[in-house]
Amino acid sequence: MFSLKDKRAIITGGASGIGLAMSRCFAAQGAVVHIFEINGKQAEEEADRINAAGGKARAHQVDITDHARVQEVFDLIAGEGPLDILVNNAGIAHIGNAENTAPGDMDRILNVNVKGTYHCIHAAIPIMRKQGEGVILNMASVAATVGIADRFAYSTSKGAIVAMTLSVAKDYLKHGIRCNCISPARVHTPFVDGFLRKNYPGKEEEMFAKLAASQPIGRMAEPDEIAALALYLCSDEAGFLTGCDYPIDGGFTRLNN
């Protein structure tokens, strides 16, 4: 079950955090993984590790805010064979409310999280429509549907991801394209560790425990747990699923009182 043997997948932000967990997981299940990463050297290093472990991965230096570059690389990949899976994982975070979020910060979040995802969807759909099948999986967040303090721009961007997911699922249902999204709560990634070092020097352990405890289950998710859900949603076993947002949140959405 959940085999991706010989399927070709693009994973944006696929060389770090949740994206890297997905790249490794998908490759282990037989997929040919195309890693999109703004840091080309990092993408090459992780692709080399996957290949050395017996998987199949290729690295592409791509800034998803650059529409022309995104289209160029999608065309290159499509010229070599089918595109079965697109995972829109790349994204950035921001802390701030509606008052103290600067216009430049708002533009930056929307350019990466919303327009970057749009660029990839815009490039992928004609390829998948011509094939008559394909899977698109977007990374949303519990912040899209639950009020979280000081996450105005980030929450806005992830709300857009949920809406985009539903729109694509509706418009391309008859073309054999499935589209879903995942909404994680806090996940323990290198980003979290870096955030704590930068904003809470000397109090990293205390703040980590506080953030972990905000999930009713009592801990943060691990990237591999998010990757496992992504694997299922991109597999043939999930063929009856489209147009859904899947929280993976340790009870955060429904059990916080």
DSSP state of 146: S
Average pLDDT over residues 218-224: 96
Give the DSSP H/E element, type plus range, for residue 205.
Answer: helix 204-213
Residues 193 and 243 in one domain: no
- Distance (Å, rounded) from C-alpha 12 to C-alpha 37? 6
Q: Using alpha carbons, select from 113, 119, 89 the residue that is nearest to residue 26.
A: 89
Residue 212 lies in a domain: yes
3-class state of residue 151 by DSSP:
strand
Domain interval for residue 202 = 188-220
| Residue 110, domain member (yes or no) | yes
Angstrom CA distances, 193 to 28, 31, 215, stand at: 27, 30, 17
As a whole number, mean pLDDT of residues 244-249 equals 97
Catalytic residue IDs: 154
Q: Are residues 192 and 150 located together in one domain of the fold?
A: no
Whole-prediction pTM value? 0.96
pLDDT of 190 over the 90 cut? no
Same domain? For 109 and 175 the reply is: yes
The whole-number pLDDT of residue 62 equals 98
Q: Provide the 8-state DSSP code for 218.
A: S
Name which of 44, 88, 85 is nearest 65 in CA terms.
88
Co-location of 84 and 56 in the same domain: yes
Residue 256 in any domain: the answer is no
Do residues 200 and 185 touch, judged by C-beta distance below 8 A? no
Residues 237 and 154 in one domain: yes
Verify that 50 and 14 share a domain, yes or no: yes
> Two tokens at 44?
């090459």
Residue 15 and residue 113 in one domain: yes
When the pLDDT of each residue in the chain is averaged and rounded to a whole number, the result is 96
On whether both 40 and 110 belong to a single domain, the answer is: yes
| Total domains in the fold of the chain | 2
Does 252 reside within a domain?
A: no
Q: Are residues 14 and 35 in the same domain?
A: yes
| Residue at 3 is within a domain | no
At residue 199, the pLDDT reads 81
Closest residue by Cα to residue 127 from 172, 164, 82, 65: 82
What are the pLDDT digits (tens) for 138-168? 999 999 999 999 999 999 999 999 999 999 9
With beta carbons less than 8 A apart as the criterion, state whether 175 and 128 touch: yes
Residue 257's pLDDT is 63
